[in-house]
Amino acid sequence: MARCFVTRDLPGSALERLRAAHDVDLWPDRLPPPPDVLRERAAQADGLLCLLTDAIDAGLIAACPDLIAISNLAVGVNNVDLAAATARGIPVGYTPDVLTESTADLTFALILAIARRLPEGMEAVRDGSWITWEPAFLLGRDVGGATLGIVGMGRIGHAVAQRAEGFAMTVVQSSRSGGMPLGDLLELADFVSIHCPLTPGTRDLIGAEQLRLMKPTAYLINTARGGIVNQPALITALREGWIAGAALDVTDPEPLPADDPLLDAPNLIVLPHVGSATHATRERMAGLAVDNLLAALAGDAMPHRYPPPPAG
């Protein structure tokens, strides 16, 4: 029976399966374990089930002599030092595919909300500034028939494109697998939606130069990772009207401090990273994370190890 440290409680019954096979040390708080506590508890574990909010760096991995498996409850693994884990022969698991539909749903919800100024409308009802029907009150932009530019045409990008078909949108894309150059997409699109992974090559992919290429009537949507968009540049773009608005489910850092200047930028929606936050999706993610850990601790291959094997 192995020792497992789990850095947060999980929805559904997946943890019960892990407890049935191994000793489980569960961090009970809503907030992540502080770095010193994470290192102390992980140092006693054979298996680690962590979240994207946990920094699993080379120092932590070196401090865990018995660690033989890391299972990350996320579709990305940018919080894990993959080189350090690989050097130790520690497999890293992740939870792909299951959050595609829920994240695509949220992406389209953000497109509609920012284009039709829904948060402002809700506030107008609550604060009493809506006093009559007016022809020019809270005018937004049409989504139907607009051009949607998708940056990163993986599973989630494809799912967003499928939803766009129902709105008769023209979809263009830019990704490693093809499509048009990013600059051309930015100049053309009415809505730019980010769906690429955060890597050294995509950090600050959308900066001042790229934001200046966008139409002043265009909107930026990011449900991928906050670090893909340069936030100081985005603040400037919103304040100076380079773009019409932005809707973010991800930021850098997460959560944003209450006094972060991004929160004072106009024409902006910021959500607390809820792209996969449905009951069904989070329970499936928990199940995959536990499956990965159980397999590795049994000496078997993780069903969802990162990086995934090449196609074909």
Catalytic, out of 39, 41, 117, 273: 273
Is 225 among the catalytic positions? yes
Instruction: Examine the pLDDT at 290 and tell me if it is beyond 80.
Output: yes
Residue 16 among the catalytic residues: no
Catalytic residue among 123, 209, 254, 279: 254
Q: What is the pTM of this model?
A: 0.90
Region 164-191: mean pLDDT is 97
Verify whether residue 273 is a known catalytic residue: yes
Residue 312 confidence (pLDDT) above 90: no
Based on the number of CB atoms within 10 Å of its own CB, is 214 exposed (0-12), middle (13-18) or buried (19 or more)?
A: buried
What's residue 76's pLDDT?
Answer: 87
pLDDT, residue 311, reads: 57
CATH superfamily of 3-98+279-306: NAD(P)-binding Rossmann-like Domain (3.40.50.720)
Mean per-residue pLDDT of the chain: 96
pLDDT over 80 at 302, yes or no: yes
CATH 3.40.50.720, the chain: domain bounds:
3-98+279-306, 100-270
Structure-token pair, residue 171: 């979809």
User: Cα angle at 76 between 50 and 234, to 5 degrees?
Assistant: 115
Share of the chain above pLDDT 90, in %: 96
**C-beta separation of 224 from 194 below 8 A:** yes
pLDDT at residue number 80: 97
CATH of domain 100-270: 3.40.50.720
Annotated catalytic residue, options 8, 117, 163, 225: 225
pLDDT reported for residue 95: 96
Q: What is the pLDDT of residue 247?
A: 98
Residue 43 has pLDDT above 70, yes or no: yes
